[in-house]
């Protein structure tokens, strides 16, 4: 009897695993692997055809991140629901800790066992989870009340301004934009939208006076890069030259003159898309953007398909975060946006941002695999 029961259990567990495996969105995984591979090869080129110092580390981090992503994919989503408050509190604590023990030219990193960790990147995921948990218990009627948004606004503004004060204006604004996008997604009241627009518009002079001189200079240089062509405008000018010189087919892999002669600053982080554009041209650049679009659209489709509001908000938030990363980085290197220090996801060199993206995609895969609408465990028995 026990033997038959064990045999039945093993068969059931095997069926559950196979069913879960069949629900994995392989298009998302394939897109991630392609972009990760592009990152490794681009960093290899950025270092002049050497694995050190960037390509090797990126490959190691990518391998670890992909493994973690797949582990998270098979974990139940209620686990992320339970730890949402803890993760947010931990994120706030780390952001406060950065003010006292941060490392780097500006205090944005914490060194843990010799490894630099950027809490502001982790905070983006924590914010998505805490907002998703909050709105999971809010009814449609409550969404029409302005008082409903007091708590989520505090949850958005607190980490946003902690990051801006580091100072890291770009990441801080990204956190605030991410939070506001989630408020729009859940169905924010139009009264609140109008009031917010009026408040932000009237606050522009105050916000401008609070900016550091270098931040003001970045905005002015964005409007006219030639005003400081050898200073703050140098990056944008060189980036535009490199992108334009790539033409349609590019100069060829490892043959980018702007990056080879070190005219292009930060070619391994914020301006890696410029290096890709110079070497692979318009065709290569648009192909990479297409892969990003496939990844983001695949994630958004899951958001509109799943039933629980918590799952909807989490998946949308992670998809929108990827969209923010992509649009800010490409807009910045093309001169369409001010230089704000936004990495290109899965491609730019940076361990914290890479792991943040892969953990987020792992959560998306988990929500898709455990979606009750398409996955009924009772059908197995």
- How far apart, in whole angstroms, are the C-alpha atoms of residue 249 and residue 286? 11
Average pLDDT, the chain: 83
3-class state of residue 223 by DSSP:
helix
Residue 173 pLDDT > 80, yes or no?
yes
pLDDT tens for 28-59 read: 999 999 999 999 999 999 888 889 889 999 99
Dihedral of alpha carbons 39, 37, 277, 263, sign: positive
37 or 116: whose pLDDT is higher? 37
Residue 4 pLDDT > 70, yes or no?
no
Residue 6 pLDDT > 60, yes or no?
no
Are 178 and 324 in contact by the 8 Å Cβ rule? The answer is yes
- pLDDT at residue 227 in the model: 63
DSSP classification of residue 115: E
- pLDDT at residue 313 in the model: 95
pLDDT tens for 310-348 read: 999 999 999 999 999 999 999 988 888 887 778 899 999
- pLDDT at residue 1 in the model: 42
Are 40 and 349 in contact by the 8 Å Cβ rule? The answer is no
CB atoms within 10 A of CB 76: 12
Residue 138 pLDDT > 80, yes or no?
yes
- pLDDT at residue 359 in the model: 96
Cis peptide before 372 (omega within 30 of 0): no
Q: In terms of C-beta density within 10 A (0-12 exposed, 13-18 middle, 19 or more buried), how is residue 140 classed?
A: exposed
Are 81 and 373 in contact by the 8 Å Cβ rule? The answer is no
Angle ∠(111,117,119) on CA atoms, nearest 5: 120
Most confident of 139-153, 175-189, 294-308: 294-308
- pLDDT at residue 371 in the model: 81
- How far apart, in whole angstroms, are the C-alpha atoms of residue 84 and residue 125? 9
Helix, strand, coil fractions of the chain, as percent rounded to 5: 70, 0, 25
pLDDT tens for 196-226 read: 777 777 777 777 776 777 667 767 766 666 6
Of the listed ranges 58-67, 222-231, 270-279, the least confidently predicted one is: 222-231
The residue ranges of every structural domain in the chain are 25-380
Residue 18 pLDDT > 70, yes or no?
no
- Give every CB contact of residue 75 below 8 A, 6+ residues apart in sequence: 366
Report the half-sphere exposure of 344 (CA within 13 A, side-chain side): 31
144 or 353: whose pLDDT is higher? 353
Q: In terms of C-beta density within 10 A (0-12 exposed, 13-18 middle, 19 or more buried), how is residue 336 classed?
A: exposed
Are 347 and 38 in contact by the 8 Å Cβ rule? The answer is yes
- pLDDT at residue 145 in the model: 80
- How far apart, in whole angstroms, are the C-alpha atoms of residue 368 and residue 363? 9
């Amino acid at each position: 009897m026990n033997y038959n029961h064990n045999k039945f259990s093993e068969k059931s567990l095997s069926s559950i695993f196979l069913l879960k495996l069949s629900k994995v969105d392989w298009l998302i995984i394939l897109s991630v692997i392609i972009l990760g591979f592009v990152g490794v090869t681009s960093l290899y080129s950025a270092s002049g055809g050497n694995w050190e110092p960037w390509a090797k580390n990126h490959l190691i981090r990518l391998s670890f991140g992909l493994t973690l992503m797949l582990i998270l994919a098979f974990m139940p989503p209620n686990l992320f629901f339970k730890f949402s408050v803890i993760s947010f509190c931990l994120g706030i604590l780390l952001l406060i800790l950065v003010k006292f023990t941060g490392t780097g030219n500006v205090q944005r990193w914490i060194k843990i066992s010799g490894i630099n960790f950027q809490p502001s990147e982790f905070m983006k995921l924590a914010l998505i989870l805490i907002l998703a948990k909050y709105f999971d218990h809010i009814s449609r009627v409550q969404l029409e009340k302005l008082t409903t948004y007091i708590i989520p606004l505090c949850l958005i503004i607190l980490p946003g301004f902690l990051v801006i004060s580091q100072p890291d204006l770009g990441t801080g604004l990204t956190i605030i934009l991410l939070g506001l996008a989630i408020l729009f997604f859940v169905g924010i009241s139009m009264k609140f939208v109008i009031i917010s627009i009026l408040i932000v518009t009237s606050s522009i002079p105050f916000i401008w006076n609070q900016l550091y001189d270098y931040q003001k200079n970045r905005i002015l240089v964005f409007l006219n890069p030639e005003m400081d062509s050898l200073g703050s405008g140098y990056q944008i000018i060189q980036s535009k030259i490199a992108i334009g010189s790539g033409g349609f087919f590019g100069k060829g892999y490892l043959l980018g003159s702007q990056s080879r002669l070190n005219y292009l600053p930060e070619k391994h982080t914020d301006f890696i898309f410029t290096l890709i554009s110079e070497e692979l041209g318009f065709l290569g650049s648009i192909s990479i953007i297409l892969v990003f679009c496939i990844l983001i659209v695949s994630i958004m489709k899951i958001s509109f398909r799943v039933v629980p509001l918590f799952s909807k908000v989490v998946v949308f938030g992670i998809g929108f975060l990827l969209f923010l990363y992509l649009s800010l980085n490409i807009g910045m290197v093309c001169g369409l946006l001010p230089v704000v220090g936004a990495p290109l996801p899965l491609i730019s060199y940076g361990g914290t941002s890479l792991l943040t993206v892969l953990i987020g995609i792992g959560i998306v895969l988990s929500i898709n695999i455990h979606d009750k609408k398409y996955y009924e465990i009772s059908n197995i028995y």
